[in-house]
Chain A
Amino acid sequence: MPALQVIDAPAAPGPRRVMLDQFDARLDADFPPVDPARLIAALKPLLPPENLKTQIEALRPYETDGLAAYRSLPAVVALPETVAQVQAILRVCSDLGAPVVARGAGTGLSGGALPYPGCVLLSLAKFSRILEIDAQARTARVQPGVRNLAISEAVAHLGLFYAPDPSSQIACSIGGNVAENAGGVHCLKYGLTVHNLLKLEMVTLEGEVLHLGSDAYDAPGFDLMALMTGSEGLLGVVTEITVKLTPVPETTQVLLAAFDNVEVAAQAVAEIMAEGIVPAGLEMMDGPALRAAEDFAMAGYPKDAAAILLCELDGAGPDVAEEIARVSALLSSCGATEVRQARDEDERKRFWAGRKGAFPAVGRIAPDYYCMDGTIPRRALPNVLTEITRLSEVHGLAVANVFHAGDGNLHPLILYDAAKDGDQDAADALGGAILELCVSVGGTITGEHGVGREKINQMCVQFSSAEIDAFHALKAAFDPKGLLNPGKAIPTLARCAEFGGMHIHNGELPFAHLPRF
C-alpha cells in the first residue's frame, strides 16, 4: 500500500482566496465581450417571447446551482422547446462568439451550471417529456429535462426501474445526470449513469445534430457516448437520451451494524467486499453524522455508536436470505457491537431515510457545511479516516463523515460558520487538504459531484500538464471555439501555474515552464 502522504496545508496565502465564481479572462477563458442587446436581438426571432428571459429579476433564479455560494449572471436565459430551436440558438452563439452554459434542474453541487458572465444560459427545462417506453426491450427514450425519479415512477407498473439514484433524484434531471455521470447509493451494484445509457442525441455548437450509441448492445466507431457522459456540458448539448431499465429485484433487505470504532467499521467494509458479496448499497456514517441524522429523521440509529454501516442486499429471496446470514456473521466477527436487520419494509425505509437525510441533518448542527466528494481505494479507508481526524484538529474545524463505503466515495462534511472570522478560509484549506489526501492514496478529487467551477484548481493536483492538454484537445475536437461552458471542469494551464503551484510533489514544481502571475 502506498505510504500515506501527510499534508499539513495551512491556509494558503494570496491567490487561493479568490472566489471561484469570479471568472478571470487571464486564467479561464478570454472572449471579446458580446453586446447583450445584439445577442438578445439575434435570439428573439428564434423563441416565443415567454421563453427568452432578459430582465434581471427573471435571470436571478439562474445565477447559481446547487452550489449556492457561487453566483454569476447570464446575459439572457433561453428556454427552447424543440431541437430545431436548440440548433438555432447554438448557431447564433457560435456566430456571435457568445459563451453558452446548458442547465438541467440546477441541482449540481460543483457549480457546473454557474453562468459564465454575460453568457446565454440554455435551460433544457422544457424538454420534459418521456417519449417512449419499450417494456420488451426495457428501455425508455426521454428528453433531458425529465426528472430522474420520474423515469422510475413511469415504469414501476412494469416491474422496472431506472437504477442510478443520486440523492437529488426527486429534483435532478436526466440530462444533468448525463452531464455529470451521476452515481447514487446503488451504483455499487447497478452502475453509474454511463452504464445505464444506450443512446444520446446531441447538438454541437455549430448546430449539427449527432446520434451516438445504439439501440443494439454496441455501436460502431469510438465510444463517443461514453466520452460525452460526465463532460459537464463542455462538448455538446444533449437533447434526447435512451436509458436502460432494470427489473425490480424480488427481495431487498438491509442490515444495520454499529461499531465503537470508526477504523474497525472501515475494515469491515473491505472484509464484506473481499467475501465476494456485491451489496446493492454499502454506506457508512461516523458518530457526528449518524447522531445528526438520527435527531433529524428518527431512523432508529444507535446514537452512542462511533460509526454505523448500512448494507443492502437484493436479489432472489433465498439468495438474499443466505447473504444476509453471511454478512451478519462477518460483521459480528469484524467487531460490530450490534447487527440488526430491518424487520419490515417500513424499517428499511427509515434506515435509508436517515442516510438520505444526512446532509440536511448536518445542516442543522452547524451554520454552514462544506461537502467534499473524494474517492479512495477501500483499503485506504481506515488510514484516511485517521488522517481526516488529524487534519480536522489541525484546522480547528469538526468534520462529519458520510461515505458510500462500498465504492470508497467519501463525503466528509466540514462544519463551520461563515459569519465567523477565518472560518471560511479554514474550511477551504481543510477541504483542499482532504482532496489532496485522496489523490495521494491513489484516489480522485471527485467521485460523483464533478468538477464544475468548484475543485477546478485541485484538477491541477490530480492531472499533469500533458493530461490537461489532452483534455483541452478533446474539448476542441467538439467545440473548436471553446464557447460551451467555458472556465469549467478542465483548468487552463495558466490557472494551474497560478493555483496548482502550491503543491510541490517530489521536489518538482509542477508547470515549471509556465509564467507565474
Chain B
Amino acid sequence: MRTSPGSDLTESLAERVRAGGPLRLEGGGTRGLYGRKVDGAALSLAGHHGVVDYDPSELVITARAGTPIIEIEALLAAENQMLAFEPPVFGSAGTLGGAVATGLSGPRRPFVGPLRDYVLGARLMNPQGEVLRFGGTVFKNVAGFDAFRLMAGSLGCFGPILEVSLRVTPRPRTERALVFEMAGEAARTWVTGLMGRPLPLSGAFHDGQRLHLRLSGGEAGVAATKAELGGEDEPLETWAAIRHMTHPVFQEPVLWRVSLPPTGPAESFETTAWDWAGGQRWLAADSVDPGVWGHAARLGGHATLFRGQADNDQVFQPLAPGVFNLHRRVKAALDPAGIFNPGAMYEGL
C-alpha cells in the first residue's frame, strides 16, 4: 500500500462551508473556462491533497480531491497501471476533484467507458460540513443509492468532493498509433465496422483530413490488427495531444463539443474533426451560433459550448422541462440552500 504526503483540510473546509454561501468551488484552477460563471466566494480544494491509499494489486487508488492528476498518473505509471478514461489535463495543477467534477473522458471512452465508470466511491461535504461517504473502494457494491456516480460531471453542484476512489487498470502490454488518408465520413463508416469486431482498438480520431487509430493490447493481437488494417505508423504523442486538447483542431476561439449518436447522421457536422469513433465532434468557430443546440438535439445528441462563452451564457444543452425540474429537486436534496456552485451548469440550478 502506498500513500503520499499531503494535507487534510477537512476541518477548515467544514468551517468555511458552515459559514454559508454561495461558494465557488475550485481545484487547480485549470478548468475555470468550463461551465458557467459562478458568483460566489472561492472555496479552494487544492490544498486538500495527497494519496490516501494505493495498492496496485487492488487496482484502486484513493486520493484527496486536490491531488494533481499528473501526480496520480506518475504513481500509477511506476506500477505499470493507468487511468483508462484518460481525463484531459489542462496544466500540471489540474486536480482529481476537478477531473471528476467536470467528468470529461479522453479518447479511450468508446472502448473502455467514461470516467464515471471508474469512480468507485467519493466523499462529499454536505452544507452542514459533515462528510458523506458514498460507494467505497470495491467494484461491486449495491448498498444504498449510487450517489458517487452522480458526482461525475456534477460540476461541484452537490458540494465539495473531498476524496475519490478510482478503479485503475493495467497498462496495455503494447500500443501503436496509425494514421490513414481517409475522409471523415468514409472513416466513420469503416471504424464503425471495425468496432463490431473484438479488435484491440483504443482510439479513433479524425482531424478533418486524416484518420488516426490507436491499438492497445497484447503484442500478437496488436501486430495482427496492424497487419490487417495497414496505415502508416505515427508517434504515440499524437494521442497525448488529442487527449489534452493541445492538437491544432482545438485551438479556435469558439469551440463546441457536439456529442452525437456515433452511427447516426451528422448532417452539417460531417466536416468537423471528431473523436470517439465519430461520437464526439469538435466544431471550431469564430463566433457563437446558438442554433448548434437545436441542431445537435435534432440529431439525437447534445452540444456544449466548450470555449468562447460570455458571462451568463448558456453552455450546456437545454434539458426537457420534466428532466430539468428533476435536476432542481435532486440538487435541492443535497444542497437545499443552493450554496455550492449555483448556476455552474444551468441558470437556476
Contact of B262 among A216, A222, A224 (CB under 8 A): A216
Mark interface residues in B318-343 (1 if CB within 8 Å of A CB, else 0): 01101110110111111000000000
A408–B222 Cα distance when bound, in Å, is 31
**A221-B323 contact, Cβ under 8 Å, with A271-B57, A276-B170, A316-B200:** yes
Contact B149 A227, beta carbon cutoff 8 Å: yes
Stretch at the interface among A56-64, A343-351, A459-467: A459-467
Contact A221 B319, beta carbon cutoff 8 Å: yes
Cβ of A466: which chain B residues have Cβ within 8 Å of it? 126, 128, 130, 132
**A448-B198 contact, Cβ under 8 Å, with A215-B261, A323-B218:** no
A408–B137 Cα distance when bound, in Å, is 11
B259 at the binding interface (Cβ < 8 Å): yes
Contact A322 B220, beta carbon cutoff 8 Å: yes
A388 at the binding interface (Cβ < 8 Å): no
Q: Which of B278-312 contact A (CB under 8 A)?
A: 279-280, 300-302, 304
CB distance from A66 to the nearest CB of B (A): 15
Stretch at the interface among A42-50, A374-382, A419-427: A374-382
Contact A449 B146, beta carbon cutoff 8 Å: no
Output the nearest chain B residue to A273 by Cβ-Cβ distance. B57
**A444-B141 contact, Cβ under 8 Å, with A214-B301, A273-B57, A466-B130:** yes
Q: Which of A339-386 contact B (CB under 8 A)?
A: 375-379
**A222-B218 contact, Cβ under 8 Å, with A446-B142, A467-B132:** no
Cβ of A474: which chain B residues have Cβ within 8 Å of it? 145, 147, 330, 333-334
A442–B113 Cα distance when bound, in Å, is 26
A442–B263 Cα distance when bound, in Å, is 42
B34 at the binding interface (Cβ < 8 Å): no
CB distance from A329 to the nearest CB of B (A): 16
B47 at the binding interface (Cβ < 8 Å): no
**A181-B263 contact, Cβ under 8 Å, with A276-B170, A278-B170, A375-B141:** no
B42 at the binding interface (Cβ < 8 Å): no
Cβ of B171: which chain A residues have Cβ within 8 Å of it? 276
Contact B221 A316, beta carbon cutoff 8 Å: yes
Cβ of A176: which chain B residues have Cβ within 8 Å of it? none
**A477-B330 contact, Cβ under 8 Å, with A191-B117, A227-B149, A451-B143:** yes
A250 at the binding interface (Cβ < 8 Å): yes
A183 at the binding interface (Cβ < 8 Å): yes
Cβ of A138: which chain B residues have Cβ within 8 Å of it? 195-196
Q: Which of A129-180 contact B (CB under 8 A)?
A: 134-138, 158-160, 180
Contact B143 A220, beta carbon cutoff 8 Å: no
A394 at the binding interface (Cβ < 8 Å): no
Cβ of A318: which chain B residues have Cβ within 8 Å of it? 218, 220-221, 224
A444–B327 Cα distance when bound, in Å, is 28
Contact of A210 among B138, B143, B322 (CB under 8 A): B322
**A319-B217 contact, Cβ under 8 Å, with A194-B146, A471-B147:** yes
Cβ of B1: which chain A residues have Cβ within 8 Å of it? 1
A404–B319 Cα distance when bound, in Å, is 40
A217–B259 Cα distance when bound, in Å, is 7
A247 at the binding interface (Cβ < 8 Å): yes
Contact B138 A377, beta carbon cutoff 8 Å: yes
Cβ of B150: which chain A residues have Cβ within 8 Å of it? 222-224, 226-227
B248 at the binding interface (Cβ < 8 Å): no
Number of chain B residues close to chain A: CB under 8 A: 88
Cβ of B260: which chain A residues have Cβ within 8 Å of it? 216
Contact A447 B198, beta carbon cutoff 8 Å: no
**A217-B279 contact, Cβ under 8 Å, with A315-B221, A379-B58:** yes
A188 at the binding interface (Cβ < 8 Å): yes
A195 at the binding interface (Cβ < 8 Å): yes
Contact A227 B146, beta carbon cutoff 8 Å: yes
Output the nearest chain A residue to B318 by Cβ-Cβ distance. A220
**A408-B139 contact, Cβ under 8 Å, with A210-B326, A274-B57:** yes
**A227-B145 contact, Cβ under 8 Å, with A191-B113, A315-B221, A442-B136:** yes
**A217-B276 contact, Cβ under 8 Å, with A210-B326, A319-B218:** yes
Output the nearest chain A residue to B114 by Cβ-Cβ distance. A218
Contact of A375 among B110, B130, B138, B147 (CB under 8 A): B138
A387–B331 Cα distance when bound, in Å, is 42
Cβ of A450: which chain B residues have Cβ within 8 Å of it? 142
Cβ of A319: which chain B residues have Cβ within 8 Å of it? 200, 217-221
Output the nearest chain B residue to A435 by Cβ-Cβ distance. B143
Contact B144 A467, beta carbon cutoff 8 Å: yes
**A195-B146 contact, Cβ under 8 Å, with A222-B154, A443-B138, A478-B326:** no
Mark interface residues in B155-177 (1 if CB within 8 Å of A CB, else 0): 00100000000000111010000
Cβ of A376: which chain B residues have Cβ within 8 Å of it? 138
Cβ of A214: which chain B residues have Cβ within 8 Å of it? 259, 261, 300-302
Q: Which of B42-65 contact A (CB under 8 A)?
A: 55-60
A321–B224 Cα distance when bound, in Å, is 14
Contact of B259 among A158, A216, A377 (CB under 8 A): A216
Cβ of A216: which chain B residues have Cβ within 8 Å of it? 259-262, 279, 300-302
A445 at the binding interface (Cβ < 8 Å): yes
Output the nearest chain A residue to B280 by Cβ-Cβ distance. A217
Cβ of A271: which chain B residues have Cβ within 8 Å of it? 57
CB distance from A441 to the nearest CB of B (A): 10
Q: Which of A401-425 contact B (CB under 8 A)?
A: 404, 407-409
B152 at the binding interface (Cβ < 8 Å): yes
A298 at the binding interface (Cβ < 8 Å): no
A476–B221 Cα distance when bound, in Å, is 50
Contact of B330 among A218, A224, A276, A489 (CB under 8 A): A224
Contact B113 A459, beta carbon cutoff 8 Å: no
Cβ of B154: which chain A residues have Cβ within 8 Å of it? 222-223
Contact A211 B263, beta carbon cutoff 8 Å: no
Cβ of A462: which chain B residues have Cβ within 8 Å of it? 143-144
Contact B136 A490, beta carbon cutoff 8 Å: no
Contact A445 B143, beta carbon cutoff 8 Å: yes
Q: A222-B157, A470-B132 provided; 13 other pairs, C-beta below 8 A?
A: A135-B196, A187-B139, A188-B139, A204-B326, A220-B304, A221-B345, A222-B153, A223-B149, A223-B152, A227-B145, A322-B219, A323-B218, A478-B326
Closest 6 CB pairs of A and B: A318-B220, A319-B218, A276-B170, A316-B221, A274-B57, A447-B140
22 A–B pairs (Cβ distance < 8 Å), ordered by A: A137-B262, A138-B196, A181-B142, A187-B140, A217-B279, A218-B259, A226-B146, A230-B145, A231-B145, A249-B198, A274-B56, A316-B198, A318-B220, A376-B138, A377-B60, A379-B58, A407-B139, A444-B141, A455-B143, A464-B132, A474-B145, A489-B145
